[in-house]
Amino acid sequence: MEIKDSGLYIILCAVAVGLGVIAGTLKKPEAGPTETSSTTPAEQTTQNTTTETTTGIKNAKIAESGTGITVIKADDFAEVYPLEYASYMKNNENDEVVEYTEQNPYIKTLYEGYGFAISYGSARGHTYVIEDISATGRPHKLANCYTCKTSSFTATVLNEGDSAYAMAFDDFTNQITDPFGCFHCHGTNPEGGVITITHGYLVNAVADDFDSIDAANLSCGQCHTEYYFDPATKATTLGYHGLATMNPDDMLEYENSLVDGEGNMFADWVDETTGVRKLKVQHPEFETFLGEGSPHGSPDSMVTFTCADCHMAKTTAEDGTEYTNHYWISPLQNQELLDNNCSKCHKDLAAEVKKIQDETTAKEDELGNKMAQLDADLSKAIEDGTIDGEDLENCRLACRNAQWFWDFVYVENSEGVHNMKLTQHCFEKTEEWLEKAYSYLQ
């Protein structure tokens, strides 16, 4: 696996990886949900339903809940789906880990006081998720960190509802029988490639737009998404309600409108040096790929593809059998896909991807270092007593907002490729809020 400094690199995490046709690489998916929360934008009704709904889009279903569901483990499918299972096990080959606190030292300042400043390792293949979440240097308090890591926890939430999220992390560990596996995307009846959405929080978040989203995108969006934890239930929750508000601007406005139990603005954590109430964006591939400006995922795209079209493309076995490949790789590693599909529009897709990612990475680093300097400058101003009162609070809010927009790109796995228009928008908003913050430091 190549890392960021050398151009293209691949990280695999959570659900069917990645989102988009020209996403040549994937980057930095979190090892697990972060340990804070907020109020939910929609009631968690889906998890309590006992009816199974068919969307009509590629046979996608919503999983039943409260019915004594048991996990069918991935290796139980080996006999029935030998080709798919063998390709799934190839994810063992993706075993390299990159430590981002070493690769990008400025994040130790930006995430100071939070677990990701201690340890921020890249995810490996899906088959390593339990091993990796257990080995990370970040503390895990609650079982909600297992949300996208094990089919066992997904089934527990379906059976027990939101109460499962508040279990102690260590108390659930010995209940794990299956890591990330077939159950996440196929439920208990993975017949004929039927996709079953097993994570109710996604159904709640997309709301009435559920039927308009391709089943393959919903499947990946169960985990490749931006989330927070509800303060009361600790349930994994998404900060929007429908596609119209599924964008970084509206999501930030929503989270900025929330207050915690003490009447303070909601925050994932508070930087003790500056007092900034910061937000930690997670891996928002779903929101980015389906967002306005996406070359292949938004409704106004000239040519649309799903996550699976590019990262789970059909493969022909030696005996001529065609099957869906469950080895989640970059489209650039699939020569058959490049030759038969991408080359119709892209003369040199690898070069296009590299150019976008190099530019995105350079801008990430530039703005990341600027924000780390802003943290230092604000800390000094507070210590010197040159800023206080309303100016201090306004500066803190500007710092918070700047980091949100920067983080929305930094933790999104395509390095700009899934949606360069949205990436550029986030960079522009970061710069605007940086300038605003410094206006209070004059």
Highest mean pLDDT among 7-11, 55-59, 157-161, 333-337: 157-161
pLDDT of residue 3: 34
Considering only 141-155, 220-234, 244-258, 380-394, which range has the smallest mean pLDDT? 141-155
pLDDT of residue 137: 64
Looking at residue 348, its amino acid is D
Residue 12 backbone phi and psi in degrees, to 5: -120, 135
Q: Encode burial over 4-14: b for 16+ CB neighbours within 10 A, e otherwise.
A: beebbbbbbbb
Segment 74-115, tens digit of pLDDT: 887 788 889 999 999 998 898 888 889 999 999 999 999 998
**pLDDT at residue 122 greater than cutoff 80:** no
Half-sphere exposure of 287 (CA within 13 A, CB side): 30
Residue 404 backbone phi and psi in degrees, to 5: -55, -50
Instruction: Assess contact for 266 and 175: CB atoms under 8 A.
Output: no
Domains of the chain plus CATH, in order, are: 9-103+122-346 (1.10.1130.10)
Residues 6+ apart with CB under 8 A from 296: 20, 21, 22, 289, 303, 304, 305
CA 5 → CA 109, 117, 258, 361, distances in Å? 20, 20, 38, 9
Rounded to an integer, the average pLDDT of 37-64 is 46
Cα–Cα distance between 183 and 63 in angstroms, integer? 10
pLDDT of residue 192: 57
Average pLDDT, the chain: 83
Instruction: Assess contact for 415 and 27: CB atoms under 8 A.
Output: yes
pLDDT of residue 319: 94
Cα–Cα distance between 429 and 249 in angstroms, integer? 9
What percent of the chain has a predicted confidence (pLDDT) above 70?
A: 84
Q: What is the dihedral of CA 238, 406, 308, 97, to 10 degrees?
A: -110
DSSP for 109-156 reads HHTTTSGGGT--BPP--GGGHHHHHHH-SS---BGGGGTTTBHHHHHH
pLDDT of residue 58: 58
- Across 223-330, where does the E strand assignment appear? 228-229, 236-237, 269-270, 277-278, 314-316, 322-324
Cα–Cα distance between 290 and 300 in angstroms, integer? 10
Rounded to an integer, the average pLDDT of 133-141 is 71
pLDDT of residue 357: 96
Helical spans, DSSP H, in 319-415: 335-340, 349-384, 389-410
Segment 25-39, tens digit of pLDDT: 334 434 333 333 334
pLDDT of residue 118: 87
Cβ atoms < 10 Å from Cβ of 138: 19
Segment 145-172, tens digit of pLDDT: 888 888 888 999 999 999 988 888 888 8
Query: Which has more pLDDT, 267 or 125?
Result: 267
pLDDT of residue 226: 95
Q: Residue 15 — very low, low, confident or very high, per pLDDT cuts 50/70/90?
A: very low
Rounded to an integer, the average pLDDT of 322-344 is 88
Segment 177-203, tens digit of pLDDT: 877 888 888 887 656 568 899 999 999
**pLDDT at residue 240 greater than cutoff 90:** yes
pLDDT of residue 335: 87
What percent of the chain has a predicted confidence (pLDDT) above 90?
A: 50
Rounded to an integer, the average pLDDT of 301-320 is 89
**pLDDT at residue 361 greater than cutoff 60:** yes
Query: Which has more pLDDT, 209 or 66?
Result: 209
Structure tokens at 48: 């309590």
Rounded to an integer, the average pLDDT of 250-272 is 91
